[in-house]
């Protein structure tokens, strides 16, 4: 395979003067990419337009439609080889206009927000609460302590985890499955500690699901600050009652689109490199880091290729996916579409971890492929990209079906990558009202776009 030949070539080059020439050529090209992104970058202003001109854009909403139109119009203006849309049917969940919770004995209003996919309360629901430190503790509490109560899930981020995504992964199960699991023990609703390592007053929404259509109870996220408050009050009064009112509902699926743009390959146009992020966002905040940053990173990649005069060997395809947040219909539809067309993919890369300072890439590949890609580290380290981490979970929700979904998978040898920015502040904003344009740093965003473009340049040239 070509990547094995490349591995051998890199070994031979390491002991020859030719390696210095090759590295110099690549260093000059990568420097050019970063200079263009930092001096004349357009990612930041594109993000401003997406966030301030459209705002949050949950699948099925008019704002999501506007985002599709914005992406298609912008890409069509860039003199690319082709721009088109792929139809996608997406879920349509409506938050409603009431999200209220309060402590009965004190009257304190609690900062909450419904979890995506939750049912409403059908009026005010008033009940005692019981705390559970994650899903595992439900069994020890049992029906006797849970039935008729609101379960408050309080499994917090582990502060010892340097990679905050690991802390998130360890406790996000209570957000997604908490309502279904608590309902089995007779709970009437759940409040879930927000998925953040910051103690503040902002609730963080996110997706949840029901495993049994006959056991659907309301589910809301509660701010970390108010979770801590409730826990203190519960310690003083185990009979503490909370009033909860939600008017959210699930409506019929609606038609939408993935937006696609391509620069055709000059040597192997039939081989595809896909890069993307997701257009949809939760309906609070502006979806700036999640995933406006990934969207403008991907668009900027195409602009940098065009502006730099680089002629890619393979077809570079950017996909603005729809419906990552609550269904992944865009990712699944794209993978099925690719399979039906019989396309060959070399790799896919997703940016869906925010717009903070670049640190590197997660890589789902064979060991031989990983060794070849790791040879790029010396070229990207000067720009802060030193992490080349093997991934067992793929490169991102939208691109994973291309390889990891057995019913869809197009070829097992393809490489999946995820862009890794610094994660320390990401969950300050993730799925919260604070995920707004003002909380994205221009230079960090531009560095991210350039890092992705540099990686795609190297992958296109050597694989």
Same domain, 106 and 6: no
Same domain, 386 and 455: yes
Same domain, 70 and 121: no
Tell me the residue range of the domain where 455 lies.
2-91+252-462
Cα(218)–Cα(210) distance, rounded to whole angstroms? 10
| Domain harbouring 171, CATH code | 3.50.30.30
3 state DSSP class of 228: helix
pLDDT in tens, 329-346: 999 999 999 999 999 999
**Whether pLDDT at 90 is above 60:** yes
User: In the chain, how many domains are there?
Assistant: 2
| Domain harbouring 259, CATH code | 3.40.630.10
With residue 137 as reference, give the H or E element that holds it. helix 137-146
Same domain, 107 and 35: no
pLDDT of residue 126: 98
- Mean pLDDT confidence for 143-171: 97
User: What is the torsional sign of CA 89, 91, 94, 95?
Assistant: negative
324 is catalytic: yes
Packing angle of the helix pair 164-171, 173-183 (nearest 10 deg):
10
Same domain, 271 and 403: yes
% of the chain surpassing 90 pLDDT: 92
Same domain, 210 and 288: no
pLDDT in tens, 372-428: 999 999 999 999 999 999 998 899 999 999 998 777 766 778 999 999 999 999 999
Same domain, 322 and 231: no
Q: How confident is the model at residue 17 (pLDDT cuts 50, 70, 90)?
A: very low
Same domain, 341 and 280: yes
Packing angle of the helix pair 293-308, 62-76 (nearest 10 deg):
10
Q: Which of 201, 216, 247 finishes a domain?
A: 247
Q: Are strands 150-153 and 249-263 parallel, antiparallel or unpaired?
A: unpaired
pLDDT in tens, 240-269: 999 999 999 999 999 999 999 999 999 999
pLDDT of residue 413: 87
Q: Which of 219, 247, 275 finishes a domain?
A: 247
Contact between 206 and 187 under an 8 Å Cβ cutoff? The reply is: no
Same domain, 158 and 24: no
Contact between 242 and 110 under an 8 Å Cβ cutoff? The reply is: yes
pLDDT of residue 4: 47
pLDDT of residue 18: 44
Q: Which of 324, 350, 444, 446 is catalytic?
A: 324
pLDDT of residue 392: 87
Q: Which of 216, 247, 278 finishes a domain?
A: 247
pLDDT of residue 6: 53
Same domain, 263 and 228: no
Same domain, 168 and 149: yes
Cα(138)–Cα(231) distance, rounded to whole angstroms? 17
Cα(416)–Cα(403) distance, rounded to whole angstroms? 8
Cα(356)–Cα(446) distance, rounded to whole angstroms? 10
**Whether pLDDT at 20 is above 70:** no
3 state DSSP class of 88: strand
Same domain, 334 and 451: yes
Q: Residue 22: CB partners within 8 Å, gap ≥ 6? A: 13
């Amino acid at each position: 395979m070509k990547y094995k030949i490349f591995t051998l070539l890199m070994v031979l080059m390491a002991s020859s003067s030719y390696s210095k020439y090759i590295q110099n050529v690549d260093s000059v090209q990568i420097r050019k990419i970063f200079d263009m992104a930092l001096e004349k970058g357009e990612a930041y202003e594109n993000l401003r337009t997406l966030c301030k001109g459209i705002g949050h854009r949950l699948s099925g909403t008019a704002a999501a439609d506007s985002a599709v139109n914005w992406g298609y119009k912008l890409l069509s203006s860039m003199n690319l080889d082709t721009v088109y849309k792929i139809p996608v049917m997406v879920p349509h969940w409506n938050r409603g206009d009431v999200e209220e919770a309060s402590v009965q004995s004190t009257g304190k209003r609690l900062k909450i927000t419904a979890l995506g996919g939750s049912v409403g309360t059908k009026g005010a629901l008033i009940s005692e609460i019981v705390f559970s430190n994650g899903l595992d503790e439900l069994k020890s509490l049992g029906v006797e302590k849970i039935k008729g109560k609101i379960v408050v899930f309080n499994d917090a981020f582990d502060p010892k985890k340097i990679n905050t995504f690991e802390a998130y992964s360890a406790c996000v199960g209570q957000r997604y499955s908490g309502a279904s699991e608590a309902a089995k023990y007779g709970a009437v609703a759940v409040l879930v500690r927000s998925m953040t390592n910051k103690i503040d007053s902002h609730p963080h929404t996110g997706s949840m699901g029901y495993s049994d259509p006959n056991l659907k109870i309301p589910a809301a996220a509660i701010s970390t600050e108010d979770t801590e408050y409730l826990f203190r009050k519960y310690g003083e009064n185990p009979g503490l009652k909370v009033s909860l009112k939600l008017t959210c509902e699930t409506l019929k699926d609606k038609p939408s689109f993935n937006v696609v743009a391509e620069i055709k390959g000059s040597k192997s146009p039939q081989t595809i490199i896909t890069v993307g992020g997701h257009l949809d966002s939760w309906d609070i905040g502006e979806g700036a880091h999640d995933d406006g940053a990934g969207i403008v990173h991907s668009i900027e990649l195409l602009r940098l290729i065009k502006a730099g005069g680089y002629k890619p060997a393979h077809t570079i395809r950017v996909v603005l996916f729809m419906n990552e947040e609550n269904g992944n219909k865009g990712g699944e539809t794209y993978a099925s579409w690719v399979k039906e067309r019989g396309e060959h993919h070399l790799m896919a890369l997703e940016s869906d971890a925010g717009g903070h300072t670049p640190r590197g890439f997660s890589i789902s590949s064979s060991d031989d492929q990983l060794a070849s890609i790791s040879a790029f580290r010396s070229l990207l380290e000067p720009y802060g990209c030193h992490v080349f981490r093997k991934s067992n979970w793929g490169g991102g929700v939208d691109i994973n079906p291309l390889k990891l979904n057995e019913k869809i998978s197009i070829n097992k040898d393809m490489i999946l990558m995820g862009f890794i920015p610094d994660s320390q502040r990401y969950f300050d904003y993730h799925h919260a009202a604070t995920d707004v344009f003002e909380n994205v740093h221009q230079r960090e965003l531009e560095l991210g776009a350039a890092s992705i473009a540099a990686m795609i340049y190297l992958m296109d040239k050597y694989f």
